[in-house]
Amino acid sequence: MELSQRQLAALVGVGKTTIGEIERGERLPNVVTAIRIAKALHTTVEELWSEDYYGQ
């Protein structure tokens, strides 16, 4: 399932700008937002924000 930033933002309850900032690594989501993003993408928080995400 492929979502636009606008669609994901609507599902999560944040603005499109917030989703873009998270995608670019300019912002980390709070716990609630991270869980909502993971659920919307049918994955886990751990999969989305693993150590690989941070280049470690």
The distance of Cα 56 from the centroid of its chain, to the nearest Å, equals 19
Q: Which residues contact 45 (CB under 8 A, 6 or more apart)?
A: 34, 35, 38
Give the tens place of pLDDT for each residue, 2-56: 899 999 999 999 999 999 999 998 999 999 999 999 999 999 999 988 866 555 4
Count of C-beta atoms within a 10 Å radius of residue 5: 15
Domain ranges for the chain: 5-48
Per the CB < 8 A criterion, the answer to whether 36 and 8 are in contact is no
Q: The pTM is what?
A: 0.84
Is 80 exceeded by the pLDDT of residue 1? Answer: no
Bigger pLDDT: 1 vs 46: 46
CATH 1.10.260.40 fits 5-48, yes or no: yes
